[in-house]
Amino acid sequence: MADGLLAGDAALVTGAASGIGRGIAQVLAREGARVVLADIDAERGGAAADALRGEGRDARFVACNLATADGPGQLFAAALAVLGRVSILVHSASPRRVEADTVFGVDDATWNDMLAVNLRGAFVLGREAGRHMREQGIRGRMVIVTSLHAESPRNLPHYSAAKAGMTMVVKELARALGPHGIRVNAIAPGAIPGGGFNAAASGIERLAACTALGRLGTPEDVAGTALALLCDRFSAYVTGTTVVVDGGIALHNWLPPPAA
């Protein structure tokens, strides 16, 4: 479609089969961008792209495995082949988290996959996208999805370490690419059910009670912020920063007050 805030843009979105990634891919396509949805889940990813095409949007699915050594580079090359150019990169892919993966519970393979998909994926995709944008004179934009865990550990050492590293990757990319008119930012979501985050109903209620807004977030909540960061109309002078989208859950003091 010709109309929309992102008309003329070409976007690659990872982790787009479900959750936050899918929500972001949807809003970008509906705002006029041509979008490649990328994910390891071919069934759900293909369905997500099909649904957008059913709305008349320009969306294609590309299967990928970002945990492999060549996965990120191969994905970017595939997206470029489909789109011809990439002006927007959103990296939202992350392996599913398991609460048993504590310091003494997470094994080496799980640690390696989490850092590969999140941290190495962010760097390699950001580097390749930045190189392409710089060489083609594209004033591109990137959003990398991190987490509150980047600043606050909570029994998921591999996830927290990966997200903390991604925060610095965002800053390094923003500093290197800023002189070329390319903006790079991060979004740190709070508790957003779906995708990599799942909890029992009782856990959902407990978490919702801890937020200032009294509810958990949705992929659409995060997607709206992503759209603002990726649109020069709203964020032309914003780069190298992290925007928290958590409904105020980080305001909660997890330590009980001392007894009177």
Adjacency order of strands within the sheet including 141-145: 59-63, 34-39, 10-14, 88-91, 141-145, 183-189, 242-245
Select which of 61, 76, 123, 159 is catalytic. 159
Angstrom distances, CA of residue 191 to CA of 147, 173, 217, 246, 255: 9, 27, 6, 7, 18
Give every CB contact of residue 2 below 8 A, 6+ residues apart in sequence.
32
Which helix H or strand E contains 122, and what residues bound it?
helix 121-136
Angle at 180 between CA 174 and CA 183, to 5 degrees: 35
| Active site annotation includes 237 | no
Return the structure tokens found at 256. 């009980």
- What residues contact 45, with CB distance under 8 A and at least 6 apart? 16, 17, 37, 38, 39, 61, 63
Bridge partners, residue 194, by sequence: 197
| Residues recognised as catalytic | 159
